[in-house]
A = this chain, B = another copy of it.
Amino acid sequence: MKVLAQLAQKAREISQVRLYKKNVERVLSALLVSGDFWELVDMSDLPVPAASGIVRVLVEEGLAFIDDEENIRLTQKGLDLVKELGIEPYVDYTCQACEGRGIPFYANIEFYREFLQVTKERPKAIRDYDQGSVTPETTVTRVLFMDSRGDLRNKEIVVLGAEDDLTGLAVALFRKAKRVLILDIDKRLIDFDNAIFKELGIDNAEAIVWDLRKPLDSSMLGKFDVFVSDPPETIPAFRAFIGRGIATLKEDGGVGYFGLTLRDSSVFRWRDFQIALTTEFGVAITDIVQDFNHYITWDYHAETKAAEIAPVKRFPEGIWYRSAWYRIEALPGFKRWNEPISDDVFYLDEEGSTT
Inter-subunit contact B153/A252 (CB<8 Å): no
Contacts of A97 in B (CB 8 A): 95-98, 104
A68 at the interface (CB under 8 A from B): no
Interface residues of A in 88-123 (CB under 8 A from B): 88, 90-98, 100-104, 107-108
Contacts of A251 in B (CB 8 A): 20-21
Contacts of A253 in B (CB 8 A): 20-23
Contacts of A124 in B (CB 8 A): none
Interface residues of A in 145-202 (CB under 8 A from B): 145, 147-148, 150, 153-154, 176, 178
Contacts of A108 in B (CB 8 A): 93
Interface hit among A268-276, A302-310, A338-346: A268-276
A218 at the interface (CB under 8 A from B): no
A283 at the interface (CB under 8 A from B): yes
Contacts of A88 in B (CB 8 A): 153-154, 176
Inter-subunit contact A102/B104 (CB<8 Å): no
Contacts of A267 in B (CB 8 A): 284, 286, 329, 331
Interface residues of A in 238-280 (CB under 8 A from B): 251-253, 255, 262, 267-268, 270-271, 274-275, 278-279
Inter-subunit contact A94/B86 (CB<8 Å): no
| Distance between A146 CB and nearest chain B CB, rounded to angstroms | 11
Inter-subunit contact A154/B104 (CB<8 Å): no
In the bound assembly, the distance between CA atoms of A288 and B102 in angstroms comes to 12
In the bound assembly, the distance between CA atoms of A274 and B329 in angstroms comes to 13
Inter-subunit contact A93/B103 (CB<8 Å): yes
Q: Which residue of B lies closest to A105 (CB)?
A: B93
Inter-subunit contact B332/A178 (CB<8 Å): no
A353 at the interface (CB under 8 A from B): no
Interface residues of A in 14-68 (CB under 8 A from B): 20-23, 25-26, 29
Q: A95-B97, A95-B104, A275-B279 are in contact. List 8 more A-B contacts (CB 8 A).
A: A29-B150, A93-B104, A93-B107, A93-B147, A96-B97, A270-B284, A285-B285, A289-B289
| Cβ contacts A to B, 13 pairs, < 8 Å | A20-B251, A21-B251, A26-B150, A85-B154, A86-B153, A86-B178, A93-B145, A270-B284, A271-B283, A271-B284, A275-B278, A285-B288, A287-B290
